[in-house]
Amino acid sequence: MSAIFAAGGNPLSFLTQFGVEWQLLVSQALSFGIVAAALYFFVFKPVIAASTERQKKIEQGLRDADAAKARLSQAEDEAKAAISAASAEAAKILKQARDDAKAAVEKSAEEAAKKAAEIRAKSDEQLERDKAKMMSELKEELSVLVVQAAEAAVGEVLTDAQRSQLAEIAARKIKA
């Protein structure tokens, strides 16, 4: 190639020996450059921009999915904690209700026992009063019967003073 330059000829004349015309080659290179620039600015650049934007959206979607997974995990943990707390609270309330019911049953049993004791005491009291009343009535009837029997047996033999003295003695002994 240096020999061509040294001859002082056209430096691109050697291309003509191979069948390439340099004017045509330059115009084709210029056309290729224009088409390549047009493709770059109107096709490749928007496609690359869309691809980059899509890549960013996908990456953002993955980050959001990871964040959602983390929030879901946290929410599940919180839900488990809330369920555990609610379960413990329910057990506590149930135990308290059982204790309250047991206390109420025991109190009712005590009250029933007291009422039964009161009723029994009143019943015993009433029985004693009825017994005393019956004894009193029985004594009165017995004294009347004794007096009547004594009068019938000794009524003709005794005087009025003796009869009244006998009635008094009988009445004192019956009362004693």
Q: Identify the top-confidence range among 98-107, 130-139, 154-163.
A: 98-107
- Our CA angle for 55, 58, 59, nearest 5°, is 85
Look at the block and give the residue holding tokens 């210029």: 30
The enclosing H or E element of 145 equals: helix 45-154
Mean pLDDT, residues 72-97 taken together: 93
3-class DSSP state of 65:
helix
Cβ neighbors of 4 (< 8 A, separation 6 or more) are: 11, 13, 14
Query: Which residue in the block uniquely carries the two structure tokens 């869309």?
Result: 50
Question: Under 8 Å CB-to-CB from 108, ≥6 apart: which residues?
Answer: none
Distance CA 80, CA 98 (A): 26
Instruction: Name the more confident of 168 and 92.
Output: 92
* Spatial separation of the C-alpha atoms in residues 164 and 1, rounded to whole Å: 187
Q: Which residue has the higher pLDDT, 71 or 16?
A: 71
Residue 158 has pLDDT above 90, yes or no: no
List the structure tokens of 50. Answer: 């869309």
What's the CA gap between 52 and 113, in Å, rounded? 89
Cβ proximity of 150 and 166 under 8 Å: yes
pLDDT in tens, 115-126: 999 999 989 899
Structure tokens at 175: 């009362």
Q: Is the pTM of this model over 0.85?
A: no
Residue type, 45: K
